[in-house]
Amino acid sequence: MNILIYGAGVIGTLYAARLRESGRRVTVLARGARLRDIRNYGLVLEDVVSGHRSITQVDTTEALNPDDRYDAVFVAVRRDQLDSVKHDLLASRHIATVLFMLNNPNGSHDLVNTFGEERVLLGFPGAGGTRDGHIVRYALIAQQPTTIGEIGGRRTSRLRELAAAFRGAGFSTKISSDMDAWLKTHAFFVTAVCGAIYLSGGDCGRLSKDDATLSLMTKGVREGFAAVRALGLPVTPFPLKVLFAWLPRRFAIGYWRRFFASRIADVVFGQHARIAAKEMREVASDCRILLEQSGAEASALPKLYGAIDAYAARIGPTQIQERGSEEMLRTP
């Protein structure tokens, strides 16, 4: 399988390196300083749990040309960068499969309208981390496997082949029968979490000691899940449904109090939240529209989304991009 990874931030780097090490032919599309780093140093990964560091050499390109041929393209950019890649993908005449691996509460609707149902796959990674110069420090998220799915939940040969490729690269992988619902559920979850982190000044440790904000966060997630159900969609994945919708809220607060006190919390949530406020603002905007469409009542989410807006406005675009930690792509 010949794969193009479009974007070279944490997710693009991690998946490109592991797929290459598993024997797949992989090309990474990057530009500017990130492209120079990859050509000079390779893909440098450090597992923050084990401390293991690896270096993987990979083919690179700074452009997707209309006549380029790949079996699949994995789009690993932030939500606020998606529009910048659409032109390249539309011009590509020989690529039949495009897997979008990003926050996208709008799900398949806009992508299908743009690219056609036969080209689009939806997915989401099972890892988080930060980029420090040419080194990507990451952690796999045990509770969140790499998740992919076809539009309409079909089980196709290409879907099974991609799932096998991810598993062969060491990623726990699940096939979803409803990625639209999965992405909407996750969007409400992650925006509520980031809103709480912003209310705590971007400090996960501080959040772990603030039961009032943890309570607001868990209430906001529940409100988001109620909106998903009101839209006629299932709340998925199942563990999030159990934690936030079935168990008493005090159990969820206790769980997240312990989690945010851990080192891994800052790797998979805190560091990304601090440099991706613009993305979170766009995702929250999408969630506001979904909330309005659902007709569901919400009192916590507006407060959490107000915190996202305020944080993004306060730190400004220059600081949002500081250190390039999750800068997956810069268009020229």
pLDDT greater than 70 at residue 212: yes
Taking each helix axis as running N to C, give the angle between helix 277-294 and helix 179-199, from 0 to 180 degrees, rounded to the nearest 10: 120
Position 282 scores a pLDDT of 95
Q: Are residues 246 and 312 in the same domain?
A: yes
In this structure, is residue 329 part of a structural domain?
no
Are residue 152 and residue 18 in the same domain, yes or no? Answer: yes
What is the per-residue pLDDT for 74?
98
Q: Does residue 15 fall inside a structural domain?
A: yes
Measured from the Cβ of residue 36, the count of other Cβ atoms closer than 10 Å reads 13
Domain identity same for 212 and 255:
yes
CATH number at residue 106: 3.40.50.720
Give mean pLDDT, residues 249-256.
Answer: 93
**Domain match, 47 and 190 both:** no
Residue that is last in its domain, among 177, 201, 229: 177
Question: Residue 243's pLDDT is what?
Answer: 85
Distance of CA 306 to the CA centre of its chain: 21
Distance CA 122, CA 100 (A): 5
- 28, 38 in Cβ contact below 8 A? yes
Residue 49: other Cβ atoms inside 10 A: 11
Whether residue 127 sits in one domain with residue 76: yes
Structural domain includes residue 331 = no
pLDDT 10s digits, 16-68: 999 999 999 999 999 999 999 999 999 999 999 999 999 999 999 999 999 99
Q: What is the pLDDT of residue 315?
A: 75
Confidence of residue 151 (pLDDT cuts 50, 70, 90): very high
Reply yes or no on whether the pLDDT at 319 is more than 50: no
| Angle between helices 249-260 and 211-230 in degrees, nearest 10 | 120
Q: Is residue 308 part of a domain?
A: yes
Above 50 in pLDDT, residue 103? yes
Distance CA 147, CA 123 (A): 5
193/315 same-domain check: yes
Q: Is residue 169 located within the same domain as residue 264?
A: no
Smallest CA-to-CA distance from 114 within 74, 86, 84 is with 86
* 3-state SS assignment for residue 69: coil
* Phi, then psi, of 203 in degrees rounded to 5: -110, 110
Task: Answer yes or no: is 330 within a domain.
Answer: no
Q: How far apart are CA 199 and CA 8, in angstroms?
A: 30
3-state class of 243 per DSSP? helix
Q: Among residues 177, 195, 218, which one ends one of the domains?
A: 177
Do 129 and 238 fall within a single domain? no
| Domain interval for residue 16 | 2-177
Measure the CA–CA gap between 122 and 102, rounded to whole angstroms: 9
Three-state DSSP class for residue 329: coil
> Do the domain assignments include residue 111?
yes
Task: Establish if 124 belongs to a structural domain.
Answer: yes
Q: Are residues 203 and 106 in the same domain?
A: no
**168-201 per-position pLDDT tens digit:** 999 999 999 999 999 999 999 999 999 999 999 9
79-93: string of b/e by CB count within 10 Å (b at 16+)? bbbbeebeebbeebe
Residue that terminates a domain, selected from 177, 204, 228: 177
Has residue 304 been placed in a domain?
A: yes
- The rounded distance, in Å, linking the Cα atoms of 268 and 255 is 16
pLDDT band for 316, please (50, 70, 90 cuts): low
Give residue 63's Cα distance to chain centre: 23
Is the domain of 204 the same as that of 272? yes
Both 21 and 127 in one domain: the answer is yes
Per the structure, the count of domains in the chain is: 2
Pair (129, 225) in one structural domain:
no
